[in-house]
Structure 1
Amino acid sequence: MDRAVDHATLQANTTHLPLRALIVDDEPLARRGLEIRLESHPDVEIVGEYGDGASAIEALRRDRPDLVFLDVQMPGMDGFQTLRSIPTAEMPLVVFVTAYDHYAIRAFEASATDYLLKPVDEARLAQALARVREARSQRQAIDHRAHLLGLLGELSGRPLLDLDEALKPDALEQLRREDKLAVRDGGRTVRVDLSSIRWIDAAGDYMCIHTDGDTAQGETLVLRATMRDLEKQLDPQRFPRIHRSTIVNARRVVEMRPHTNGEGFLRLDCGQELKLSRTHRDKLALLL
């Protein structure tokens, strides 16, 4: 009876404690966007915002936050390397925030709590925070670390990992070598064979991924993302950027002909012609 009372009291007391959170993302606009969304959650207290892993690690050791919103890929020290530098016993609750469906899809499907996709959806953020609160109230830090390990194993494609293996600095690079790209096309998620992608171009706030299909015209998948988002997901040797608004599958290029002012035109095996801008002529060696 006493133990049950103690547990109930612990849950009640913990529920009213603020969630002390760090935001770690190299993009100032992304940090600001998450900060604005968190304003509607008064029990979340942002104790610091950082744009790189090294600063975040120092803050983690100093401030001991309950929760970290952590971008997966940052210059210098990425999210995995940042986690690898945190002693297991001091590991806070972690919610990854990233634009990279290609890296996230299996973990996202397995655990919507620990992975938020950019742009962050307010309903998903509320769901993640609800589960973070529950985990903390039940003092499930050990279970969370085990769950985080499983999540990292899913991301690396090697489920049976210990913590050091899961957080190896090259874990993200292994994911980039996968043969599929996971994209959300409207209300569905599609895993696209990289070899089937012909080219990718920008259309305002959206990206159009042109792929092989049942007809000669192929199929176009549309997702809300930026050119920078997709460049980070794809191997630049295989999918070089040839224009400010175009990425091409280098293996699909069959011909290049010069144009004026140092520009050129690329012809793909499907017959599509794309412009190679003068500023991206350094990619020519990858294309022919």
Structure 2
Amino acid sequence: MKVKVLIADDEPLAREIILSYLEDFSEVVSIVEVANGLEAVKKINQLSPDLVFLDIEMPKMDGISVLDSNALKNQPLVIFTTAYNQYAIKAFELNAIDYLMKPFDRDRFHKTMKKALDKLKMIELKDFQIELSRFRLDYENAILEKSSSEFPSKLVVKDSKRIKHIQVEDITMIRAAGDYVEINERDGKFLLYKTITEIQSKLNPNIFRRIHKSVIINSEKITEIRPHVNSEFYFHMLDGQIVKSGRTYKDQITDLTSGNI
């Protein structure tokens, strides 16, 4: 495991102590130092460090504000380092993994670093498992696509406990969820590591309709359609869900809403 560290502290001596203690950990491959909160936000966004040692009382922006900033593009693991104990509750509310009271010795620092490294190993393992699941699903779905004459009749999907083959005809709805989609099927909700546009291209467009930028429905599972405003409609699905179409998709669903399926 290779760990990138950022030290944010306005006191040079405090940064020097952390630097010397970090020499005991071979996992640490790079260290960047900053002396104020604004620089901390900038470097976190630029470098995506794995671990940040963050002082609380700093010029321009304090450590609490750094971690609570809307400007942060990603959230690293954070260890607060401070001479003040009144910030501890707020620090843990912001999911800091530890709170080092200055002055701290090498033994206390080692205990904190062990906690941080254990957490980073768990994150690394989880990321690996996600990539492994993604690879397996992509591989198995590719095999199913090759064996299909046009559109696959099955998909390989997963939930928190299992990987499962589902019949495409049993899908009620597909929702976009970042870089993957959530598939609603009669046995529950499952994930597939594809964008909604990618999965749309794999399905029969006569049956599966994109009614919103983030929703595809199975037109054979519609029980009722109710008009809304601005060419929008509420689609009542067989499983009880109700979803609204987007106005920019009115032309794609005209045959559904006019009853000319």
**Could you say which structure has the greater relative contact order, defined with CA pairs below 8 angstroms and 6 or more residues apart?**
1
Q: Greater Rg, structure 1 or structure 2?
A: 2
Into which bin does the TM-score normalised by the smaller protein fall?
A: 0.3 to 0.5
- Bigger helix fraction: 1
Q: TM-score, normalised by structure 1?
A: 0.39
Q: TM-score, normalised by structure 2?
A: 0.42
